[in-house]
Amino acid sequence: MKRTVSGLSDLGCKKAKPGDKAKKLSDGKGLYLLITPSSGRYWRFDYTFDAKRKTLALGTYPEISLQVARGRHAAARSLVANGTDPSTAKKLLAEQERIEAERFREITLQWYDLKKVNWSEAHATRQLKRLEQYIFPAVGTRQIATITTPQWLALLQAVSESSLEVAHKLKYSIDMIYRHAIVTGRTENNPAASLKGILPPVRNDHFPAPITAKDAAPLLRAIDAYGGSFIVKTALRLAPLLFVRPGNLQQMEW
CATH of 104-195, one of 1.10.150.130, 1.10.10.10, 3.40.50.920, 1.10.3720.10: 1.10.150.130
* Of 204, 182, 207, 205, residue with least CA distance to 193: 182
Higher pLDDT, 247 or 225: 225
Contact between 136 and 105 under an 8 Å Cβ cutoff? The reply is yes
pLDDT at 4 over 60: no
Task: Name the segment(s) of the chain with CATH classification 3.30.160.390.
Answer: 10-98
Residue 106, pLDDT > 70, answer yes
Confidence of residue 205 (pLDDT cuts 50, 70, 90): low
Tell me what pLDDT residue 1 has: 47
Give ∠ CA 159-163-169 in degrees, rounded to 5: 75
Rounded Cα–Cα distance for residues 59 and 43 (Å): 5
15-19, 29-33, 153-157, 207-211, range with the lowest pLDDT: 207-211
Does the pLDDT at position 124 exceed 90?
yes
pLDDT tier at 253 (50, 70, 90 boundaries)?
A: confident
- The stretch 122-148 carries a mean pLDDT of 94
- What is the C-alpha separation between 24 and 41, in angstroms, rounded? 10
Is residue 154 a contact partner of residue 170, using CB atoms and an 8 Å limit?
no
The 10 Å Cβ neighbour count of residue 123 is 12
Chain segment 88-105, per-residue pLDDT in tens: 998 888 777 776 668 999
Give the residue-averaged pLDDT of 72-93: 92
Going by pLDDT thresholds of 50, 70 and 90, the confidence category of residue 247 is confident
Q: Rounded to 5 degrees, what angle do the CA atoms 115, 120, 123 make?
A: 80
What value does the mean pLDDT take over residues 231-246?
88
182-187 mean pLDDT: 90
Instruction: Report residue 245's pLDDT band, with 50, 70 and 90 as the boundaries.
Output: confident
| pTM for the model | 0.54
Flag whether pLDDT at 3 surpasses 60.
no
Q: Is 127:119 a contact under the CB 8 Å cutoff?
A: yes
- % of the chain beyond a pLDDT of 70: 95
CATH code of 10-98, in short, is 3.30.160.390
Q: Where in the chain is the domain with CATH 1.10.150.130?
A: 104-195
